[in-house]
Amino acid sequence: MIDVVMPKMGESIVEGTLTRWLKKPGEKVERDEPLFEISTDKVDTEIPAPASGVLSEVLVQEGATVAVESIVARIGDQSGNGAAPVAAPAAAPAQREKGPEVSVPPSVGVGPSAAVPEVRTTPPQQPSAGAAGPYPAEPPPSRHAAPPPPQAVPQSDGAEETGPLSPLVRKMAREYNIDLAQVRGTGAGGRITKQDVEAYMSSQAARTYSTPTPAPQSAGPYPVEPAPSPAAPPPQPLPLAESARVRTEPMSNMRQKIAEHMVMSKRTSAHVTTVHRVDMTKIAKLRDKSKAEFQARNGFSLTFLPFVAAASAEALRAFPIFNASIDGKNIVYYRDINLGIAVALEGGLIVPVIRNADERNVAGLQRAIVDLATRARSRQLKPDEVQGGTFSITNFGSFGSIFATPVINQPQVAILGVGAVEKVPAVVDGDAIAIRSQAHLALTFDHRLIDGALADQFCQKVKSILENWSTSIL
């Protein structure tokens, strides 16, 4: 019998959601054949079977979130034979039974309906030397007695009792000065997750908004009505019209993660966007001249995106503050330039990372973009391939958009959006009118760290590289 476990998908990932089983109990599976799908706060991916055999037992149902390295299923041999499996939930009661033996008072009912708190789990305190007196000893607990003291029950809302915390949770606690002992953990084993910290921050903000202003003391015989609160609580959504024909369905796990990440980014960074128009005519002509040979040599087409990626990597070397993060009151500069490239999926978005992008030429960048995008759409990305980005690029121009205001991919401090390359009439050489291939670059930056003048200098650097492109692409 082979145990199938929730894999460890990176150092910062401590749990995952099992979204779909690809095999049913009793079906044959082959080694490395996709067995189930999981979703984490980093990536959605398929998990292969660790061995060939028959899926004899499923211990975790679809939609459940479990800690990494937890057993989720078992695989038997081809005949389905194997040792009788032991259900995972039975492990916890077994550990509790290893405690000291206790005596049960006659007043406590023993049977299937007896609750655990009714049994004393700690040895009773011995009376002190002067305890013998006219006062009777403490009576034994009754059926309706209160549960034992808190020290015998592990707490789930303290930071120390919740198990290992992810680096993201620790960073959020440090940045927002949050006492994790006040945060209730909902993860596996009471672990505090990112969503728990965000929920705690939202509840604190709502409590601040709803605190009424003290009413002034009245000098007359009648009390003065309290003054309205200066900040009203957030508006509640309006109810749907009774006659509306609607269809309601739950958000996918990926959609929920995207929503949480976007709201967290807006709440964290001071977003400002600057837009620059770039003449892409030289690159367009070079691309048209070489695209047939490039396609024949590499097996994929040449787009404008790798040119922008190469120019961005060079500009990041000149302006390292854009290749950085904020850690409390410190600035963390990254030596490696790891470009995150946004990839649109069916019903979602993911940002795989090209590591050491400044060490690749245009062909190498295009190859990496095609590879990551293809594997992202087929759910073949590894967790490490969507972590460690230091600067992101999103190509909304591939869908015809002229320009947009992208949201920063935390914990980065900037993201560059690339608009569609269009042929437009433009003024050149003084007063002459000519047809030029132009695009708009939209740089969203964190105003906590980067000022507008510096952001414009960065864009001008990217623009200058693109407009004066002379490097061979083959």
- Annotated active-site residue 451? The verdict is yes
Q: Which two three-digit tokens encode residue 192?
A: 């505090």
The Cα-based distances of 407 to 40, 421, 468 in angstroms read 21, 21, 29
Give the residue among 274, 202, 232 at the shortest CA–CA distance from 446.
274
In 6-111, where do the E strands start and end? 15-21, 28-29, 34-39, 44-48, 53-58, 65-67, 71-76
Number of C-beta neighbours around residue 171 at 10 A: 19
Q: Is 412 helix (H, G, I), strand (E, B) or coil?
A: strand
Q: Which two three-digit tokens encode residue 40?
A: 């984490």
| Tokens 């401090």 belong to residue | 413
Q: Cα(381)–Cα(365) distance, rounded to whole angstroms? A: 17
Out of 288, 327, 336, 451, pick the active-site residue: 451
Q: Cα(394)–Cα(194) distance, rounded to whole angstroms? A: 25
Given a contact cutoff of 8 angstroms between Cβ atoms, the answer to whether 370 and 35 are in contact is: no
54's CB contacts (< 8 A; 6+ apart) are 26, 27, 28, 29, 75, 76, 77, 78, 79, 80
Q: Cα(346)–Cα(377) distance, rounded to whole angstroms? A: 8
Give the residue among 446, 443, 377, 451 at the shortest CA–CA distance from 404.
443
Query: Which residues on neighbouring strands pair with residue 412, listed in sequence order?
Result: 325
Q: Cα(272)–Cα(454) distance, rounded to whole angstroms? A: 12
Angle between helices 281-298 and 362-377 (to 10 degrees): 70
Residue 156 is classified by DSSP as S
Residue 38, judged by CB atoms within 10 A of its CB (0-12, 13-18, 19+), counts as: buried
Give the residue among 393, 417, 414, 408 at the shortest CA–CA distance from 342.
393
Q: Which two three-digit tokens encode residue 218?
A: 């009245």
Out of 157, 384, 447, 456, pick the active-site residue: 447
The Cα-based distances of 231 to 67, 207, 227, 234 in angstroms read 41, 11, 12, 9
- Annotated active-site residue 447? The verdict is yes
Active-site amino acid positions: 447, 451
